Structure 1
Amino acid sequence: MKLLTYSLAAGLLSASIASADYLKPLMNPAELSNSLDQANPIILDIRGDAYQDGHIPGAISAPYGLFRGPKNNPGQLLDEDVLEERFEALGLELDRPVVVVSEGKTDTDFGAAARVYWTLKSTGFEDLAILNGGKQAWEQAGYPIDKTNITPKPTELDITFSPQWTATTEQVVSVTKEEVDSLLLDARPASFYEGDKSHGAASRPGTLPGAENYYYASFFNGGSAAISSDIDVQALKVTLGLEEDQEIVSFCNTGHWAATNWFALSEVAGIENVKLYPGSMVEYSNLDLPMENTPGVVENL
């Protein structure tokens, strides 16, 4: 088990990759503004009630909670039919670009956008982007804010959830038993990884057996709410100890911070075979499965 650190610096190899005709996975405000007429994207504002106080013109309110599980397992995957119904109500179309917008107040906000992006990609949406820095970056760049409540026109969809970017509990257990050679990457702060803290819905503190710690905030410069788009991919692979063609399983407490690591590794760095464990430690800890860094009886007194 190791706590891994990697230094981001300006001027490194930019590894952003374009996954679609119009959008690239990570967009700045100017790029989004320039794409509005050509790409005609659906802008999903995932901030919830804050939408009413002002949003990017034309944006649709799609609160983050629509993409999350129950309180006792927030990272739990929603059923296909539930996602389909919610996407239809939002007016989503598989062949129309989608841009996900969070608040952008802190780096943890990015995890919400990344989790929504991952959910959409896993259900067949290909032309996707995240607005880097969220609504606050848009406003700070001098672009207009609107308070008009946009009512989407419902659509009809037929989605199928792809397991390509998902690690199930069963698959994770296989990795912990060393039946599968995958890199388990804990995205949480060291205090969670080391078992000093735990999520309120987790039954035990600690981490997955054999996991290494790579704090999601390592992908942000100087406390910025915008993720770095400059990643030296080879240096990162060395830091992670990633072997050729080795699969990465990103996890945290509820698949939120882990979504940031998944996005940075898969969509920005372009590393293949990166998966997200949606339920993460909340789901895993509530099962009778072995863990590491779990305090003993004396430490819990």
Structure 2
Amino acid sequence: MMKNIVSVDWLYENLENENVIPVDCRFYLDNKDQGQEEYHDAHIPGAHYADLEKHLSGTVHEHGGRHPLPELNQFVNFLESIGVDETKTVVAYDAQNTAMAARLWWMLKYLGHEKAYVLDGGFQAWEKKNYPLTEKLPETEKTTFNPDIQYDMVADLNEVKDATENDDIVLVDARDEARYLGKTEPIDPKAGHIPSALNRFFMENIEQGQWVSSSQLKERFEELTDKPVINYCGSGVTACVNVLALDEIGKKSKLYIGSWSDWSSYDENQVETERK
């Protein structure tokens, strides 16, 4: 068991533990109902479903990005409805190389909930072991969740602007190289990246569906460990995977929630297309 990551074997052995709550975060941007449909077809026993856009995001406006945080009370109500309080261990999983699960992990940490983990290998690793699946929806008693907001986990637009002109703060872009370099942009209004940002594609934390070792993560992020880091991606989802990876090696970092979808919504914001 790593700091933030549990194996499918560990979850299987703890399925009957009433203090362990699996949460299915499967979500597909190109078919927004598919994840929930898959959940209803088959999920890990005891798992609740968390929808990226219904539960883990708020209302989209002109600025603020494609997946802004939901209203705090709404998210707290959701957690309470699935039985999460300070005594519960939450294990988030998806079928998207931890992208959606890491968003839930990050949001729980942001609310001060320490017992938050992601499932190594996700739904695919569970299936590969032929561990049990069910259509049955879990029964849960509503609880009370008391948030303790960790405001220092978030970077706002002004902090990001300052970072573009400050060599002592590192911006890290979690998108793939083609989007980072502005060669393609399938979603947002501008192509490229925030000036001064480095590229660390979130998928490179994963090999053949499993998380790489802590030593590999240390090597990958070695040059970032002595400076403050602000992570971003397209809309504040896949960057959570890099936040988790850094936390795994003992490095606290911030998330720019609006990410590129917020940055690129302002005409005056500069864009780069060259590798730093």
TM-score range, shorter-chain basis? 0.7 to 0.9
Q: Is the 8 A contact 1:249 1:276 kept in 2?
A: yes
Matches within 5 A, 1:208-223: 208-221=194-207
In the alignment, structure 2 segments of 5+ residues that lack a partner are 27-35
Q: Contact conserved, 1:42 with 1:59, CA < 8 A, in 2?
A: yes
**CA pair 100-234 structure 1, distance change in 2 beyond 3 A:** closer
- For structure 1, the 5+ residue unaligned runs are 1-15, 19-24, 296-301
1:2-22 Cα distance to aligned partner (Å, 9 max, x none) = xxxxxxxxxxxxxx753xxxx
Could you say which structure has the greater relative contact order, defined with CA pairs below 8 angstroms and 6 or more residues apart?
1
Letter in 2 for 1:269: I
Q: CA deviation at 1:118?
A: 0.1
Q: For residues 195-253 of structure 1, what are the alpha-carbon distances to aligned partners after superposition, in whole Å with 9 as ceiling and x for unaligned?
A: 122252x22112111111111122122xx222223434553344xx3262x11111111
**Distance in structure 2 (CA, Å) of the matches to 1:52 and 1:181:** 47
Q: Offset at 1:96?
A: 1.1
Please point out which of 72, 76, 80 is paired with 2:72. Answer: 80
Q: Is the 8 A contact 1:62 1:90 kept in 2?
A: no
> Which residue pairs with 2:57 in the alignment?
68
Contact 1:219 1:264 (C-alpha < 8 Å) held by counterparts: yes
What's the RMSD between the two structures over aligned residues?
A: 2.2
Other-structure match for 1:193: 180
SS of 1:99 mapped into structure 2: strand
Distance 1:111 1:288, change over 3 A: same
1:79 maps to amino acid: E
Q: Indicate whether 1:292 and 2:271 are aligned.
A: yes
Provide the residue aligned with 1:129 in structure 2: 117
Structure showing greater radius of gyration is 1
Q: TM-score, normalised by structure 1?
A: 0.79
Partner of 1:146: helix, strand, or coil? coil
d(CA) in 2 for partners of 1:43, 1:127: 12
Look up the match of 1:229.
Answer: 213
Matches of 2:103 and 2:158, distance apart in 1: 21
TM-score, scaled relative to structure 2: 0.86
1:56 aligned counterpart, secondary structure: coil
- AA aligned to 2:193 is T
Cα distance between partner residues in 2 of 1:90 and 1:253: 29
Preserved CA contact (<8 Å) 2:85 2:146:
no
Give the residue type in structure 2 aligned to 1:235.
E
CA distance in 2, matches of 1:229, 1:279: 29
Q: Count residues in correspondence.
A: 261
SS state of the match for residue 146, structure 2? Answer: coil
